[in-house]
Amino acid sequence: MRIIVQKFGGTSLSTSQAKEHVIHHIKRERDNGYAVVVVVSAIGRRGDPYATDTLLEQLAPFAAYVDLKEQDMLLSCGEMISATLIGTQIRAAGMPAVVLSGAEAGIETDDDYGSAKIIAIHPERIVKALEAGQVVVVTGFQGRTKQGAITTLGRGGSDTSATALGAALQAEIVDIYTDVNGVLTADPKLVSDARPIAKVSYAEICHMAREGAKVVHPRAVEIAQQARIPVRVRSTFSEEEGTLVQDEAWQHNEHAVLDRHVTGIAYALGITQLHVSGTEQQPHDPRLIFESLAAHGISVDFINVTASHSLFTVQGEQAQLAEKLIAEQGLQVRLEAACAKVSVIGGGMNGQPGVMARIVSALSQEQIPILQSADSNAAIWVLVKEKHMAMALKCLHSTFDLNR
């Protein structure tokens, strides 16, 4: 049995016309010989009646009294509604269908309510329905504990549900349908000549997702990578195949021509840089700094530590608390607020000399100071001021010929 998993986000289910496109995609894959599993998010976005953020807002006035287990019961309602509606419409289109909650689909999680982790999937009920020729519609974003309590998987949970089910069912491919036609080389709102990317590696898409290209959740990609299941990011409103995410082996094919080492440019805003140094009374002690921040749940990035100082970044909303904690240790701390992280991403640049030189040259020509930098196997990050971020994106996009 050839299985395909199709995940449809909230905008794909928000109107009657959008739902007609969903039905078309399901019917096309059935006609292509696939057994189809459909994973759905809640309908719409913030402000729409059953969107997850809208449901959360109902509890906001009573935040001090919220029980997280009960909150997950509420948040699961959005997917229950969308799954029931789309399941009914599938049957109305002449295709047999069954709707399953995350619990009924066999998605077992831990009891970290609001951000539960999948620990096992028992797909027997799904397999039985597929063998009977039914389209199986599963509520994304949710599962159940061993004790039977409803849980939700946190942000990007429906993407995670889709790839986890794909892995458990040994699906041929997982299609993530959204309102854009795949992954672009940059944010088209800021870079007018951004173009679609036909193919990326798991590592590249994870970097892009973490750094602002919000087309698929990195946790979902990591699950697909472990199971070696290809993922496509596609538009609900198009027949185009979008962006294919698969193993990096294609990049290292000896017959391939890697004339482009950079795949895309991403960014993140709202970052504050902290420069911490010692005083005559209190020498610089990185251990005290980072242990204190960790104990208060503050995540750090762009970390540079020397004998005399520590330089790192935090999210802007955590900057005041971080400053207070460090000052309480008797250390000097200087803040640089309103910074942006610009990411140059590409598996093909690993081991290629000159990439950083081109980044520095391009930004220097636009008189954009680099406040800090870091790198990994598939990305180079630079920290700039927010006021320079848009220009940094444009000039780096052009420098690496991503508009061609």
For each of the chain's 404 residues, which pLDDT tens digit applies?
999 999 999 888 889 999 999 999 999 999 999 999 999 999 977 778 878 889 889 998 998 999 999 999 999 999 999 999 999 999 999 999 999 999 999 999 999 999 999 999 999 999 999 999 999 999 999 999 999 999 999 988 999 999 999 999 999 999 999 988 889 999 989 999 999 999 998 988 888 888 766 778 889 999 999 999 999 999 999 999 999 998 755 444 444 434 458 999 999 999 999 999 999 889 999 999 999 999 999 999 999 999 999 999 999 999 999 999 999 999 999 999 999 999 999 877 777 788 999 999 999 999 999 999 999 888 999 999 999 999 999 999 999 999 87
Residue 244 belongs to what H/E stretch? Answer: strand 243-246
Tokens 């913030």 belong to residue: 46
52 is in an annotated binding site: yes
302 is in an annotated binding site: no
279 is in an annotated binding site: no
- The pLDDT, as a whole number, for residue 203 is 87
- The pLDDT, as a whole number, for residue 260 is 57
141 is in an annotated binding site: no
316 is in an annotated binding site: no
78 is in an annotated binding site: no
- The pLDDT, as a whole number, for residue 250 is 46
- The pLDDT, as a whole number, for residue 333 is 95
d(CA 399, CA 361): 9
272 is in an annotated binding site: no
What is the DSSP-derived secondary structure letter of residue 155?
A: T
Other CB atoms within a 10 A radius of the CB of residue 262 amount to: 25
194 phi/psi in degrees, rounded to 5: -60, 145
pTM: 0.85
Q: In what order do the strands lie in the sheet with 150-152?
A: 118-121, 107-109, 142-144, 150-152
List of domains in the chain: 3-179 (3.40.1160.10), 264-399 (3.30.2130.10)
- Contact at 8 Å (CB) between 342 and 400? no
Q: In what order do the strands lie in the sheet with 135-139?
A: 97-100, 135-139, 35-40, 3-8, 173-178, 231-235, 243-246, 199-201
88 is in an annotated binding site: no
- The pLDDT, as a whole number, for residue 257 is 39
94 is in an annotated binding site: no
Backbone region of residue 356 per phi and psi (left: phi > 0; alpha: psi in -120 to 50; beta: other values)? alpha
313 is in an annotated binding site: no
